[in-house]
Amino acid sequence: MKKLVVALGVLVLAGAGAAGYYVSVRPARPALEAPQSPPLHPQPTPSTNYKVTIYLPDPESREGLLVPLTRTVPEPPTPAIALELLLKGPQAEERASAIFPEGTRVLGAEVKGGVATVNLSKEFREHFPAGTMAATVTLYCIVNTLTELPEVRAVRLQVEGKDLKTLGEMDVSQPLIRDEGLIERTRR
Partner 1 sequence: MGNRAAEFSRGYRSRALIWCLTLSAALALALAASAGAAEAAVTVTVLGQPAPVTATPVVQDGILFVAARDLTGPLGFGLRYEPGPPKSIVVSGSGEISLRVGDVTIRTPTRDIRSPAAPFISSGGAFMVPVRGFCRAVGAAAVWESQASRLSICARLTDLRVAPEDGRVVLAADTTFPVPFQTTSDATPRALLTLKGCVLDLERPEFPVRAWGIEEVHASQASSAPVEVRVAVTLSKPKPVAVLSQNPSAQVRVQIGVPEDISQPPVLPRLLKLCFARNQMDEAELRVVADAPIGPYSTLLVGRPARLMIDVGDVIMEIGEVARDIPDALVTRVTASQKTGGPFVARIVLNLVGVSPYSSALEAGGKELVIRFAKAPVTGRVVVVDAGHGGEDPGAVGPSGLKEKDVNLDVAMRLQKMLLDSGINAFATRTSDVLIPLYQRAELANDLAAEVFVSVHSNAWVTPNARQGSEVWYGNDYSLALAHVAQDELVRRLRRRDGGVHRNIRLVVTRETGMPAIIAELAYINHKDEESLLASSEFRQLAASALCAAIVRYLESTPPPEQVPAAPGSREATPERGAAQEVEGE
24-to-19, 119, 173 alpha-carbon distances in Å: 9, 63, 64
CB of 158 to partner 1, least distance (A): 16
- Gap between the Cα atoms of 14 and 120, Å rounded: 52
Q: 51 or 165, CB closer to partner 1?
A: 165
Q: Does 60 bind partner 1 (CB under 8 A)?
A: yes
Span from 42-50, 73-81, 147-155, 179-187 in contact with partner 1 (CB under 8 A): 179-187
Query: Which residues fall within 8 angstroms of residue 70, CB to CB, at 6 or more apart?
Result: 51, 52, 53
Span from 70-78, 110-118, 149-157, 163-171 in contact with partner 1 (CB under 8 A): 163-171
Phi-psi region of 49 (alpha: psi -120 to 50; beta: other; left: phi over 0): beta
Q: Does 182 bind partner 1 (CB under 8 A)?
A: yes
78-137 residues in contact with partner 1 (CB under 8 A) are: 97-99, 129-134, 136-137
Q: 75 or 102, CB closer to partner 1?
A: 102
Please identify which residue in 17, 103, 114, 161 interacts with partner 1, judged by CB under 8 A.
17
CB of 177 to partner 1, least distance (A): 9
Closest CA to 176 of 120, 129, 136, 124: 136
Please identify which residue in 65, 85, 109, 116 interacts with partner 1, judged by CB under 8 A.
65
Please identify which residue in 80, 107, 111, 170 interacts with partner 1, judged by CB under 8 A.
170
Q: Does 6 bind partner 1 (CB under 8 A)?
A: no
Q: How many CB atoms within 10 Å of residue 34?
A: 13
The DSSP secondary structure of 97-124, one letter per residue, reads: ---SPTT--EEEEEEETTEEEEEE-THH
Please give the span between the terminal C-alpha atoms of the chain, in angstroms, as a whole number.
10
CA-only gyration radius of the chain, Å:
22
Residues that bind partner 1 (CB under 8 A): 13-14, 16-18, 20-21, 24-26, 29, 31-32, 57, 59-63, 65, 97-99, 129-134, 136-140, 166, 169-172, 176, 179, 181-182
